[in-house]
Amino acid sequence: MDPDLSAPHSMGTTIIGVTYDGGVVLGADSRTSTGMYVANRASDKITQLTDNVYVCRSGSAADSQILSDYVRYFLNQHTIQLGQPATVKVAANLVRLFSYQNKNMLQTGLIIGGWDKYEGGQIYSVPLGGTVLKQPFTIGGSGSSYLYGFFDQAWKDGMSKDEAEKLVVKAVSLAIARDGASGGVVRTVTINAEGVTRNFYSGNSLPLWHEELEPRNSMLDILLSGASPEPMSI
């Protein structure tokens, strides 16, 4: 079947937000699809809104990008007027406001995570339609269907930063193994009182699950390296 290259860019994806004792960890895969075609295998789905608040984007790439741009602009104005950083709750409610007022036109689900001096680390989920939910952890995107049972068993209150980071990376790698619309690399963002830390996990460093095959060089990688491909054997 020929790929429909005129289809809208969609981040059928896996996005995760987890609170821990002292902050939050956000995580996402990096595959962006156009119909059946992988348009971008290394996209960044975790977008900065303010110095202390980030958003994980899923659904239509265009919708989530423009919504993030609008929210970032208004949060910047809010910060200038108040003379202090916007809280995570303010950012989440601004996302909710735009999502709800444009719910008939937007196809995007978002996870807002951050830290502020009033309530510490917080995670908010804004699914399709513009509802806002504050949760200790939340998952979204097409890969989330495979993770509900895993999180019910694996998540616990009062985790350390390292435990939360490992949980997020393991969960995204599990979704990549099962969900055809999730793939690529894993990116995480940790936000706490000390600031923001970004981490990157290449596909080769992720654990293999169930019947996944070991990664092999593609024909393109072989040609770019200057080596000759091995002849096929029957």
Q: Give the mean pLDDT of 180-187.
A: 90
**Closest alpha carbon to 92 in 65, 129, 60, 124:** 124
Sign of CA dihedral 14, 33, 60, 201: positive
CA 21 vs CA 73, 120, 124, 134, 196: distances in Å: 30, 9, 17, 16, 15
175: Cβ contacts below 8 Å, ≥ 6 apart = 14, 29, 141, 143, 144, 146, 147, 182
Is the pLDDT confidence value at 24 over 70?
yes
- Give the model's pLDDT for residue 32: 87
- Give the model's pLDDT for residue 179: 87
- Give the model's pLDDT for residue 223: 66
- Give the model's pLDDT for residue 218: 64
The whole model's pTM is what? 0.85
Q: In which band, very low, low, confident or very high, does the pLDDT at 164 lie, cut at 50, 70 and 90?
A: very high
Is the pLDDT confidence value at 38 over 90?
no
pLDDT: which is higher, 193 or 35: 193
**Closest alpha carbon to 95 in 52, 137, 138, 125:** 125
- Give the model's pLDDT for residue 104: 93
- Give the model's pLDDT for residue 98: 96
Half-sphere exposure of 29 (CA within 13 A, CB side): 33
Q: In which band, very low, low, confident or very high, does the pLDDT at 215 lie, cut at 50, 70 and 90?
A: low
Q: Residue 146 and residue 150: Cα distance in Å, rounded?
A: 8
Out of 51-65, 154-168, 202-216, pick the least confident.
202-216
Is the pLDDT confidence value at 11 over 70?
no
Q: What is the pLDDT of residues 46-89, one digit of tens each?
A: 999 999 999 999 999 899 999 999 999 999 999 999 999 999 99
pLDDT: which is higher, 193 or 41: 193
- Give the model's pLDDT for residue 47: 97
- Give the model's pLDDT for residue 82: 92
- Give the model's pLDDT for residue 39: 84
The 3-class SS string of the chain reads CCCCCCCCEEECCCEEEEEECCEEEEEECCCEEECCEEEECCCCCEEEEECCEEEEEEEEHHHHHHHHHHHHHHHHHHHHHHCCCCCHHHHHHHHHHHHHHCCCCCCEEEEEEEEECCCEEEEEEECCCCCCEECCEEEECHHHHHCHHHHHHHCCCCCCHHHHHHHHHHHHHHHHHHCCCCCCCEEEEEEECCEEEEEEECHHHCCCCCCCCCCCCCHHHHHHHCCCCCCCCC
pLDDT averaged over every residue in the chain? 88
Is the pLDDT confidence value at 7 over 90?
no
Q: Is 188 a catalytic residue?
A: no
Task: Please pick, among 13, 14, 19, 50, the residue that the annotation labels catalytic.
Answer: 13
- Give the model's pLDDT for residue 15: 96
Q: Give the mean pLDDT of 118-142.
A: 95
